[in-house]
Amino acid sequence: MPKSKYLLIYKDLKQKIEEDDFQYQELLPSENSLIQTYNCSRNTVRRAISQLVEDGYVQTMQGKGVRNIYQPVEQTSYTIGGIESFKESSLRNHKKGRTEVLFFIEITADEKISRRTGFSVGSELYYLQRLHFLDEKPLIINHNYFLKEAVPGLTPEIAQGSIYDYLENELHMTIVNSKRVITVEKITQIDEKYLHLDVNAYNCMAVISSQTYNSDGVMFEFTQSRHRPDYFRFQDNAVRRRLA
């Protein structure tokens, strides 16, 4: 439940848009009238609207108004975007998720791991391999590296559930920021084995490599997420920045 005012307005407008209260291409009420509706200042409605712009829900036009450009996506495949745990994505996509821990060890970052992950040499890490099922179909293999000092007490049992749950609710850590790179890579034997892939059909995978920071500004996670190509779908909304 949001407690800040701009988030309440944001969520309310977002819901209205999703529920078709505004037609595609229709203008939303003007800022002034929203000020009346929500009994708040202009800055506050503008902040809510700017979030909707980031989401690709609306578009502002100086002198004209704010246009609804939301179009629902067909939910045939598993859609990702934003920072979400596998569990959260599963729920949003209305699928049943399950996670299997394939591998769990504690390691110290050497030169090679450091280059790959961005952790400094000598860092104490947990290294996990996890297999994610959606509706009992294996779709994703994750290679996770967690900084031990930031994620103390991680166990295979916890990793089988949601690690983000553990971080946020047990350790009260706040996940803030995630730098991601998407590439396409050749299938490895591990991929082939656990995802039951036929190399003749697809011989590569969608790979998301991400570095995640907590609210202390510490990078505490590096993850390489390898997705079955036929179920991979990454969604994004880009806003062209003004330069002048």
Partner DNA sequence: GCCGATTTGTCCGTATGTATC
Partner DNA sequence: CGATACATACGGACAAATCGG
Interface with DNA (CB under 7 A): 4-7, 28, 30-33, 39-44, 46-47, 49, 60-66, 215, 242
Whole-angstrom distance, CA of residue 133 vs CA of residue 228: 11
Whole-angstrom distance, CA of residue 182 vs CA of residue 198: 22
Distances (CA, A) of 145 to 4, 108, 124, 127, 214: 34, 11, 10, 5, 14
The interaxial angle of helices 42-54 and 5-18, nearest 10 deg, is: 50
Whole-angstrom distance, CA of residue 31 vs CA of residue 202: 50
| Residue nearer to a copy of itself on the CB measure, 23 or 157 | 23
Tell the smallest beta-carbon distance from residue 103 to a copy of itself (Å): 25
Tell the smallest beta-carbon distance from residue 64 to DNA (Å): 5
| Residue nearer to DNA on the CB measure, 49 or 207 | 49
- Residue 47 contacts which entry, a copy of itself, DNA, none (Cβ below 5-8 A, type-dependent): DNA
φ, ψ of residue 223 to 5 degrees: the values are -135, 135
| Residue nearer to a copy of itself on the CB measure, 165 or 216 | 216
Q: Where are the beta strands (DSSP E) in 109-203?
A: 124-134, 137-147, 175-186
The one-letter code for the residue type at 231 is Y
- Residue 41 contacts which entry, DNA, a copy of itself, none (Cβ below 5-8 A, type-dependent): DNA
Residue 27 is given by DSSP the state B
- Residue 28 contacts which entry, DNA, a copy of itself, none (Cβ below 5-8 A, type-dependent): DNA
Tell the smallest beta-carbon distance from residue 16 to DNA (Å): 15
| Residue nearer to DNA on the CB measure, 105 or 244 | 244
| Residue nearer to a copy of itself on the CB measure, 33 or 120 | 120
- Residue 63 contacts which entry, a copy of itself, DNA, none (Cβ below 5-8 A, type-dependent): DNA
Token readout for 32 is: 């002034």
The SS3 call for residue 5 is helix
Residues contributing to the site for a copy of itself (CB under 8 A): 1-4, 7, 25, 51, 53, 56, 59, 61, 67, 69, 71, 81-83, 118, 174-186, 202-206, 213, 215-217, 219, 229-230, 232-244
| Residue nearer to DNA on the CB measure, 15 or 188 | 15
Tell the smallest beta-carbon distance from residue 58 to a copy of itself (Å): 9
Token readout for 162 is: 């949601």
φ, ψ of residue 121 to 5 degrees: the values are -60, 135
- Residue 19 contacts which entry, a copy of itself, DNA, none (Cβ below 5-8 A, type-dependent): none
Q: Between vectors from CA 103 to CA 203 and to CA 96, what angle results, nearest 5°?
A: 70
